[in-house]
């Protein structure tokens, strides 16, 4: 599906600026058609779940709330291919995401699905100014993870010169970035920081290179972290959101003109629900993102619970796109830590640490059990070279970190200032939380 880039602003102007009433009508008819397909698929799971559902009675996206949710457990129970609608001979790609426990979540794509995926993520790349003039260094992991091949196909479709470095070999990434004149980079935020750090260690000022944009996603990134990356790399960051179950990257993309990420709503229908009750929440309230992907062939999904906590933003965006936006991912329904009875989100800790002068943006949260069997929250964070070189500054810095965390969390954390370059660097999704509590304490 080769389509010329539209004036460097839109990849698919008609879809991206569709009047809202038309968009809602399109979503409704697509969901209806998808329900019909699911009901006649002969898959027992859908027969059972949708037995009471009459697709013709779905009159608007509001009526989605009458439909049952789908969860990761449903995918696990039908591992690996039990929920695919397309027969094996029409599947041309299989991806999987490794869960923290047990079997991975497996997703399949027909050729049309791959085209749909590349075409959707292309909108996000073009929103960040990518064109055939760009050299796109793709440092997302290439493999079962959807990041690498997803960005590969989309950047190729837009016509950029794609450099499929995959993640890792960071000194080589930096060398190629300089030698090839890379203008756009794709990777996780934590890996972007590492690339910046390795460049700096080699005396290379990224601000002096042509690189100007970074398409970062797959893990949380607070505003402060985004700013930090922009400053260190001399780039504009365009955040990307997605998950394998829905399609991979390309579910929502930042346009750089306002807060949040545009959900490509003609293909992915967002709702935000109360994670406890499952009830739909009013726009603007924080809740769990639920997504439907009715137009995929091999593995369409209706009302998938992402576990990601977001706000839905429906105010018009100055960029002209008419779709709803999601805020940054504010946490996950399953990442809230309960420490001595207090709720703690890792993102709160990141936000707090990045506001303290004298720290580097590399940290780890370690939970342990104290001798009195109470939870211990330990925050390990790197100090800057300047503080590391002047031992008289440390006590003051440590006290400031403890105080800042206490104000934000309402909890006293043990703070460990570590030397620069001691917290493990990540090439993909960073592991920020180590829960070493003894089982009965959780
Ligand atoms: O991470 C797809 C992706 C690749 C997105 C590259 C963006 C860029 P999974 O491995 O299935 O897919 O993991 C999905 O990652 O439910 C979120 O919890 C998290 N995630 C993805 N994007 C963001 C983001 C890919 N921008 C899970 N901010 C999702 C925070 C994100 N978390």
What's the average model confidence in pLDDT over 76-83? 96
Give the gyration radius of the chain's Cα atoms. 23
Stated as kind and residue range, the H or E segment containing 427 is none
What is the chain's mean pLDDT, rounded? 95
What's the average model confidence in pLDDT over 163-168? 98
Ligand 1 mean position, distance from CA 151 (Å): 13
**Could you tell me if the CB of 250 is within 6 A of ligand 1?**
no
328 Cα nearest atom in ligand 1:
28
What's the average model confidence in pLDDT over 95-111? 88
Ligand 1 mean position, distance from CA 402 (Å): 31
Q: What is the pLDDT of residues 213-233, one digit of tens each?
A: 999 999 999 999 999 999 999
Nearest CA to ligand 1 atom 29: 243
pLDDT tier at 7, thresholds 50, 70, 90: very low
pLDDT at 442: 47
C-beta of residue 105 within 8 angstroms of C-beta of residue 95: no
Measure Cα distances from 280 to 58, 61, 334 in Å: 16, 12, 19
pLDDT tier at 101, thresholds 50, 70, 90: low
Question: Tokens at residue 427, please?
Answer: 């090439």
Per-residue HEC secondary structure of the chain comes to CCCCCECCCECCHHHHCCCHHHHHHHHHHHHHHHHHHHHCCCCHHHHHHCCCCCHHHCCCHHHHHHCCCECHHHHHHCCCCCCCCCCHHHEEEEEEECCCCCCCEEEEEEHHHHHHHHHHHHHHHHHCCCCCCCEEEECCCCCCCHHHHHHHHHHHHHCCEEECCCCCCHHHHHHHHHHHCCCEEEECHHHHHHHHHHHHHCCCCHHHCCCCEEEEECCCCCHHHHHHHHHHHCCEEEEEEEECCCCEEEEEECCCCCCCEEECCCCCEEEEECCCCCCECCCCCCEEEEEEECCCCCCCEEEEEEEEEECEECCCCCCCCCCCEECCCCEECCCCEEECCEEECHHHHHHHHHCCCCEEEEEEEEEEECCCCCEEEEEEEEECHHHHHCHHHHHHHHHHHHHHHHHHHCCCCEEEEECCCCCCCCCCCCCCEEECCCHHHC
**Could you tell me if the CB of 217 is within 6 A of ligand 1?**
yes
Strand 301-310 with 331-332, pairing: antiparallel
The answer to whether domain 337-441 has CATH 3.30.300.30 is yes
Residue 153 φ/ψ, nearest 5 degrees: -65, -40
pLDDT at 441: 45
Assess whether pLDDT exceeds 60 at residue 4.
Answer: no
Q: What is the pLDDT of residues 381-430, one digit of tens each?
A: 999 999 999 989 999 999 999 999 999 999 999 999 999 999 999 999 99
pLDDT tier at 197, thresholds 50, 70, 90: very high
Using the Cα atoms of residue 104, residue 105, residue 106 and residue 107 in order, give the sign of their dihedral: negative
Measure Cα distances from 355 to 219, 221, 331, 358 in Å: 20, 14, 19, 9
What's the average model confidence in pLDDT over 330-337? 92
**Could you tell me if the CB of 415 is within 6 A of ligand 1?**
no
What's the average model confidence in pLDDT over 154-174? 98
Best residue among 123, 143, 241, 430 to mutate for probing ligand 1, ranked by most atoms within 8 Å of CB: 241
What's the average model confidence in pLDDT over 346-358? 95
pLDDT at 100: 62
Between CA 62 and CA 68 the distance in angstroms is: 13
CB-side exposure of 2: number of CA atoms within 13 Å? 4
Between CA 35 and CA 57 the distance in angstroms is: 11
**Could you tell me if the CB of 97 is within 6 A of ligand 1?**
yes
**Could you tell me if the CB of 190 is within 6 A of ligand 1?**
no
Q: What percent of the chain clears pLDDT 70, i.e. is strictly above it?
A: 97
Q: Residues with Cβ < 8 Å from 164, sequence gap 6 or more?
A: 138, 142, 148, 152
pLDDT at 5: 47
Nearest CA to ligand 1 atom 1: 218
pLDDT tier at 440, thresholds 50, 70, 90: low
Stated as kind and residue range, the H or E segment containing 31 is helix 20-39
pTM: 0.96
Ligand 1 mean position, distance from CA 282 (Å): 24
pLDDT at 277: 98
pLDDT tier at 330, thresholds 50, 70, 90: very high
Best residue among 118, 243, 252, 326 to mutate for probing ligand 1, ranked by most atoms within 8 Å of CB: 243
**Could you tell me if the CB of 248 is within 6 A of ligand 1?**
yes
C-beta of residue 45 within 8 angstroms of C-beta of residue 82: yes
pLDDT tier at 98, thresholds 50, 70, 90: confident
C-beta of residue 414 within 8 angstroms of C-beta of residue 379: yes
pLDDT at 238: 98
Nearest CA to ligand 1 atom 27: 243
Q: What is the pLDDT of residues 62-71, one digit of tens each?
A: 999 999 999 9
Between CA 259 and CA 380 the distance in angstroms is: 30
**Could you tell me if the CB of 188 is within 6 A of ligand 1?**
no
Ligand 1 mean position, distance from CA 220 (Å): 8
* CATH number of the 1-331 domain: 3.40.50.12780
Q: What is the pLDDT of residues 247-271, one digit of tens each?
A: 999 999 999 999 999 999 999 999 9
Stated as kind and residue range, the H or E segment containing 217 is strand 213-217
Assess whether pLDDT exceeds 90 at residue 6.
Answer: no
C-beta of residue 251 within 8 angstroms of C-beta of residue 241: yes
Q: Where are the domains of the chain?
A: 1-331, 337-441
Residue 249 φ/ψ, nearest 5 degrees: -65, 150
């Amino acid at each position: 599906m080769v389509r010329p880039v539209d004036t460097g602003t839109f990849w698919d102007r008609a879809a991206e600026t569709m009047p809202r009433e038309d968009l809602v009508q399109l979503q409704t008819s697509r969901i209806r058609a998808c329900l019909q397909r699911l009901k006649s698929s002969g898959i027992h799971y859908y027969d059972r779940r949708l037995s009471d559902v009459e697709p013709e009675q779905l009159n608007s996206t509001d009526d989605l709330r009458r439909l049952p949710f789908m969860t990761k457990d449903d995918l696990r129970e039908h591992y690996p291919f039990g929920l695919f609608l397309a027969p094996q001979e029409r599947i041309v790609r299989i991806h999987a995401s490794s869960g923290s426990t047990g079997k991975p979540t497996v997703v399949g794509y027909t050729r049309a699905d791959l085209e749909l995926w590349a075409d959707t993520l292309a909108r996000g790349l073009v929103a960040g100014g990518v064109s055939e003039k760009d050299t796109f260094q793709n440092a997302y992991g290439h493999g079962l993870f959807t990041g690498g091949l997803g960005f590969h196909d989309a950047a190729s479709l837009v016509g950029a010169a794609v450099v499929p470095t995959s993640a890792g070999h960071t000194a080589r990434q930096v060398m190629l970035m300089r030698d090839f004149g890379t203008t756009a980079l794709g990777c996780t935020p934590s890996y972007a920081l590492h690339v910046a750090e390795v460049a700096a260690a080699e005396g290379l000022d990224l601000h002096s290179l042509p690189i100007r944009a970074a398409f970062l996603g797959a893990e949380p990134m607070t505003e402060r972290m985004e700013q930090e990356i922009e400053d260190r790399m001399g780039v504009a960051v365009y955040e990307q959101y997605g998950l394998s179950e829905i399609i991979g990257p390309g579910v929502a993309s930042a346009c750089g003109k306002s807060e949040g990420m545009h959900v490509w709503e003609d293909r992915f229908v967002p709702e935000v629900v109360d994670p406890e009750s499952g009830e739909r929440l009013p726009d603007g309230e924080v809740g769990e993102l639920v997504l439907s992907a009715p137009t995929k062939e091999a593995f369409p999904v209706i009302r998938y619970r992402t576990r990601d906590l977001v706000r839905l933003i429906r105010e018009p965006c100055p960029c002209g796109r008419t779709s709803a936006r999601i805020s940054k991912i504010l946490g996950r329904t399953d990442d809230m830590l309960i420490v001595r009875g207090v709720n703690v989100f890792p993102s709160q800790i990141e936000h707090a640490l990045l506001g303290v002068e004298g720290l580097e943006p590399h940290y780890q949260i370690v939970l342990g059990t104290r001798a009195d069997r109470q939870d211990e929250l330990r925050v390990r964070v790197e100090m800057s070279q300047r503080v590391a070189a002047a031992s008289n500054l440390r006590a003051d810095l440590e006290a400031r970190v403890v105080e800042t965390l206490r104000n934000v969390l309402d909890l006293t954390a043990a703070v460990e200032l570590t030397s620069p370059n001691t917290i493990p660097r990540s090439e993909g999704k960073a592991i920020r939380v180590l829960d070493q509590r003894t089982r009965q304490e959780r």
